[in-house]
């Protein structure tokens, strides 16, 4: 099952914006970890210290910190610098300076990489509706950048209550939509995709299948 999920996550086309909708109880760090273990170059956009949160939860599950520590990162707001930070973008009153972000992004070396964007829902939940719509509009400007496949990890539970219009817009502008939820097991479902052969795929997996035999946490 792990290979099947990894295959699906790598089957989106270069230049795509993939919306990864997850629920609060679905351990999204496990899907993120699958991307890290894919063997592809990875660049993380870390918004408001979300990558450190994912990192600490994975380590608590028994993942070797060395598997995560050196990941290339663009730091967007927040104060906890995890990974190999290649650039920093400040948040001014919870607004993201996309011009400067584009400048930092353009300086990243490499012909192709997977680009998980972590914590966008935090930014959207703190902005006005007008600013949130501007952020969505700027996201669309990166669609078609064939240097990357972007995966926008969004906690839909945190947005749907008061940002339904923004969630609807994100779904519209994304070229593909993946849903990651905890039912009997963890479930990956492809709702929409530019690669139409992926649509309708649903795969169940357990955390143990993702982690293999995680190392035991050391006792104090």
Cβ neighbours for 95, distance < 8 A, ≥ 6 positions apart:
127, 131
Q: Note whether 199 and 192 are within 8 A (CB).
A: yes
Kindly state whether residue 97 falls inside one of the protein's structural domains: yes
Whole-number pLDDT of residue 219: 43
- For residue 193 the two structure tokens come to 């995709």
Q: Note whether 79 and 50 are within 8 A (CB).
A: no
Cβ neighbours for 15, distance < 8 A, ≥ 6 positions apart:
143, 144, 145, 146, 148, 149
Phi-psi region at 93: left, alpha or beta (left = phi > 0; alpha = psi -120 to 50):
left
How would residue 220 be classed by pLDDT, with cut points 50, 70 and 90?
very low
* Residue range 97-109: mean pLDDT, rounded: 80
* Cut 0.75: pTM above it: yes
Range of the domain at 117: 2-211
How far the first Cα of the chain sits from its last, in Å, is: 35
Kindly state whether residue 17 falls inside one of the protein's structural domains: yes
pLDDT digits (tens, 9 = 90+) for 182-193: 998 999 999 999
> What one-character-per-residue DSSP string does 6-57 give?
HHHHT-SPTT-EEEEEE-TTS-HHHHHHHHHTTSS-BEEEEETTHHHHHHHH
Kindly state whether residue 218 falls inside one of the protein's structural domains: no
Kindly state whether residue 219 falls inside one of the protein's structural domains: no
Kindly state whether residue 160 falls inside one of the protein's structural domains: yes
Kindly state whether residue 118 falls inside one of the protein's structural domains: yes
* Residue range 130-140: mean pLDDT, rounded: 87
Q: Structurally, how many domains does the chain consist of?
A: 1
Kindly state whether residue 54 falls inside one of the protein's structural domains: yes
Residue 23: which CATH number?
3.40.50.11570
Q: Is the pLDDT of residue 4 over 50?
A: yes
Kindly state whether residue 151 falls inside one of the protein's structural domains: yes
Positive or negative CA dihedral for 82, 87, 92, 96?
A: negative
């Amino acid at each position: 099952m792990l290979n099947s999920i990894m295959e699906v996550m790598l089957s989106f086309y270069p230049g795509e914006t993939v919306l990864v909708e997850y629920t609060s109880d679905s351990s999204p760090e496990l899907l993120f970890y699958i991307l890290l273990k894919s063997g592809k170059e990875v660049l993380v956009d870390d918004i408001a210290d979300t990558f450190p949160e994912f990192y600490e939860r994975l380590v608590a599950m028994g993942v070797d910190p060395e598997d995560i520590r050196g990941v290339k990162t663009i730091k967007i707001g927040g104060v906890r610098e995890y990974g190999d930070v290649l650039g920093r973008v400040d948040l001014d009153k919870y607004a993201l300076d996309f011009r400067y972000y584009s400048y930092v992004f353009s300086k990243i070396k490499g012909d192709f990489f997977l680009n998980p964007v972590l914590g966008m829902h935090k930014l959207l939940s703190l902005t006005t509706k007008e600013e949130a719509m501007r952020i969505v509009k700027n996201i669309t400007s990166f669609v078609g950048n064939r240097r990357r496949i972007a995966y926008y990890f969004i906690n839909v539970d945190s947005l749907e209550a008061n940002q339904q219009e923004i969630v609807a817009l994100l779904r519209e502008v994304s070229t593909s939509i993946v849903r990651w939820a905890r039912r009997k097991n963890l479930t990956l479902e492809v709702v929409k995709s530019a690669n139409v052969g992926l649509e309708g795929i649903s795969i169940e997996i357990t955390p143990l299948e993702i982690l293999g035999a995680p190392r035991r946490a050391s006792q104090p």
